[in-house]
Amino acid sequence: MNFNGRHVVITGASTGIGRATAARIASAGGRVTLIARRADLLEAAARELGEGARWAAADVGDKAQLIAALDAAVAQNGIIDGLFLNAGIGGNFCAVEDYPDDVFDAVMTVNLTSVFWAIAHVLPAMKARRGGAILVTGSLASERGMPMNAAYVASKHAVLGLSRAVANEGAAFGVRSNCVIPGLIDTPMLDGLPPGAADQMARAVPLGHTGTADELAQVAAFLLSDAASHVTGQALAVDGGMLGTMRV
């Protein structure tokens, strides 16, 4: 995978999957712009990644902040060749009838609406120059109706559909759109699972272990690169075999 001359913008980039993917792309010669809420973590990450790394602090759930960060990315690092929309939140774990309205709305805003905002802002320029790659982070919950987390499941089902709609609209312009499906990956989001849930899920992974952020990042970088030039509209699971072999 060669990212020489390419600029990739990554949300949720200060830790975990986003940070690991930024490192993969930078090591392959690309320029990266990191977007997340915490400026201190972004600045430290960009410093480690080197000359081609820039950052812009933003809460993706705030449209004005998100658009300003995307515009800053172009101003700092040039046109956006790849857009990896990775930021997300988990929400509450409770029955549907007990799920708070405000939490449901917040999860949908960050996990789905912010992805729509970002794509709608960046896609016209990609269409105009007839090329670009968009990648969205989905979840096992994009493919399975998991219990006790209605907002997260709804948002992740929806974001997969959005990614596929964009793939259809973008294809005639050489713009690709895909969804990467993390399984159980060792990231800070695991800390939000109910006690014991992560260990129980890890025992159910056919490959026998929790995945790493770098294992996911390798696939994300592939989908953003020209090595995946004939891949669009796909949901690619990096899950140790969970979706393909068992009920989740």
d(CA 237, CA 248) in angstroms, rounded, equals: 13
**Half-sphere exposure (Cβ direction) of 213: Cα atoms closer than 13 Å:** 19
d(CA 201, CA 183) in angstroms, rounded, equals: 10
- pLDDT of amino acid 153: 98
Q: What is the pLDDT along the chain (248 residues), one digit of tens a residue?
A: 899 999 999 999 999 999 999 999 999 999 999 999 999 999 999 999 999 999 999 999 999 999 999 999 999 999 999 999 999 999 999 999 999 999 999 999 999 999 999 999 999 999 999 999 999 999 999 999 999 999 999 999 999 999 999 999 999 999 999 999 999 898 877 776 777 777 777 888 999 888 999 999 999 999 999 999 999 999 999 999 999 887 65
**Residue type at position 56:** A
- pLDDT of amino acid 247: 61
For residue 150, give Cα distances in angstroms to 41, 101, 106, 155: 30, 11, 13, 8
d(CA 83, CA 127) in angstroms, rounded, equals: 13
CATH architecture for residues 7-245:
3-Layer(aba) Sandwich (3.40)
Tell me which of 3, 117, 152, 222 is the catalytic residue: 152
DSSP state of 26: H
What's this model's pTM, rounded to 2 decimal places? 0.95
d(CA 169, CA 165) in angstroms, rounded, equals: 6
Clarify whether 152 is annotated catalytic: yes
- pLDDT of amino acid 194: 72
d(CA 23, CA 74) in angstroms, rounded, equals: 19
- pLDDT of amino acid 204: 82
